[in-house]
Amino acid sequence: MAAQKFSPEDILIEKLNDKHDVRCFRSYEPELVDFLVEDALNNQHQNLSTTFLWFHKGSLVSYITLLTDKINLEGNLKAFFKEKGIYYKSLPALKIGRLCVHDDYLHRGLGKMMVVFAIQEATDINENKAGCRFITLDAKRNKDKSLDSIHFYRKLGFGTLKERAKGTTPMYIDTKTP
Ligand SMILES: CC(C)(COP(=O)(O)OP(=O)(O)OC[C@H]1O[C@@H](n2cnc3c(N)ncnc32)[C@H](O)[C@@H]1OP(=O)(O)O)[C@@H](O)C(=O)NCCC(=O)NCCS
């Protein structure tokens, strides 16, 4: 039987601090474990990114790391904004730097909920703090194609910014898209 989906009310979100012990975190993407255990707090102290830990009944189930970004307007995107009378070379964005669900809690809605969280943060920035037109990210590839996160993000409405033969794929969503 498939495990039940998480509901947002059962989740506690905390900004990473030096009291958190994150060494219990496990993922089939070891780089994302290493980032959380070794770099996330230091990056936060250096104002490079902010990491939010998600807990369910006291267990660390996932995390998301956010930072500021911009998109350089080129090609279709440049033409799209030109039609609207917007001629800037680049537009502001909020980037999902890292997003990862613990292996024991996959396919229970956490990934999608964290993307929604990022969109809500962008809305808050727009309403109260600064302009933020896009959400951006670099989608990871996996040797096992079925684990490519590109498909996950496409399903949630993200478009591809640039096709690349190797490495990560830059993706984005426009916060003005209904
Ligand atoms: C990709 C990842 C975040 C998905 O998290 P998750 O909690 O298992 O996903 P959800 O349960 O929220 O799934 C949301 C939807 O995406 C789909 N989905 C999940 N993983 C998918 C994948 N790899 N490819 C295609 N679709 C996927 C689900 O079927 C679901 O669809 P539905 O709404 O129609 O039912 C998770 O597999 C993960 O942490 N992977 C390792 C790290 C990683 O690749 N991070 C992203 C790059 S930085």
| DSSP class of 36 | I
Q: Is the pLDDT of residue 140 over 90?
A: no
Reported pTM: 0.96
Atom in ligand 1 nearest the alpha carbon of residue 110: 7
Q: Which whole number is the average pLDDT over 109-129?
A: 98
Domain residue spans in the chain?
Answer: 8-174
Query: 46: CA distance to ligand 1 center in Å?
Result: 30
Instruction: Tell me the C-alpha distance between 50 and 101, whole Å.
Output: 17
Domain 8-174 belongs in CATH node 3.40.630.30: yes
Atom in ligand 1 nearest the alpha carbon of residue 137: 48
pLDDT tens, residue by residue, 12-63: 999 999 999 999 999 999 999 999 999 999 999 999 999 999 999 999 999 9
Kindly state the greatest CA–CA separation across the chain: 53
Mean pLDDT is lowest, of 36-50, 112-126, 136-150, 157-171, for 136-150
Q: Is the pLDDT of residue 178 over 80?
A: no
Atom in ligand 1 nearest the alpha carbon of residue 108: 11
Instruction: Tell me the C-alpha distance between 20 and 53, whole Å.
Output: 9
Instruction: Tell me the C-alpha distance between 165 and 161, whole Å.
Output: 13
What pLDDT, on the 0 to 100 scale, is given for residue 128? Answer: 98
Query: 90: CA distance to ligand 1 center in Å?
Result: 29
